[in-house]
């Protein structure tokens, strides 16, 4: 059962445009992570948000955790070709293992 839905699934934009990726669930998570995955490689963590309503910025990337800790968004300002990749959100269940439930992914292509 997929508990985390991401939208859009695919996004192709021109360099310099802004975009937002959404990650939605009906479940509450103790924290939410965003990963980026490049072709032929494993996912790499971008950020972890923990508190409802929390906003974190990583250069041109802005991450927000929903107030109810059920959803999150990733906003990229002035996208660059280097931002191209698969973006995955992952909700953490907490506890010692803190298992992750991954979203379906958003494949972003930024054209120069």
Partner 1 sequence: DAGITQSPRYKITETGRQVTLMCHQTWSHSYMFWYRQDLGHGLRLIYYSAAADITDKGEVPDGYVVSRSKTENFPLTLESATRSQTSVYFCASKPEGSGQETQYFGPGTRLLVL
Exactly one of 18, 80, 104, 111 binds partner 1 (CB under 8 A); which one? 104
- Least separation in angstroms between CB 70 and partner 1: 17
Q: Which of 14, 59, 82, 97 binds partner 1 (CB under 8 A)?
A: 97
| Residue 2 lies near partner 1 (rule: CB under 8 A) | yes
Number of helices (H) and strands (E) in the chain: give both, helices first.
Answer: 0, 11
Rg (CA), the chain: 13
DSSP line for 11-43: EEEETT--EEEEEE-SS--SEEEEEEE-TTS--
Q: Could you list the residues that contact partner 1 (CB under 8 A)? A: 2, 4, 6, 31, 33, 40-45, 48, 88, 90, 92, 96-100, 102-105
């Amino acid at each position: 059962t997929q508990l985390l839905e991401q939208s859009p699934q695919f996004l192709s934009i021109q360099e310099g445009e802004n975009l937002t990726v959404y990650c939605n669930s009906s479940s509450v998570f103790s924290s939410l992570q965003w990963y980026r995955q490049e072709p032929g490689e494993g996912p790499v963590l971008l950020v972890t948000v923990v508190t409802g309503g929390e906003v974190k910025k990583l250069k041109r990337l802005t991450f927000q955790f929903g107030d109810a800790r059920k959803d999150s968004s990733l906003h990229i300002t002035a996208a660059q070709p280097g931002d191209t990749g698969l973006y995955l959100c992952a909700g953490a269940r907490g506890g010692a293992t803190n298992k992750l439930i991954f979203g379906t992914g958003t494949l972003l292509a930024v054209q120069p």
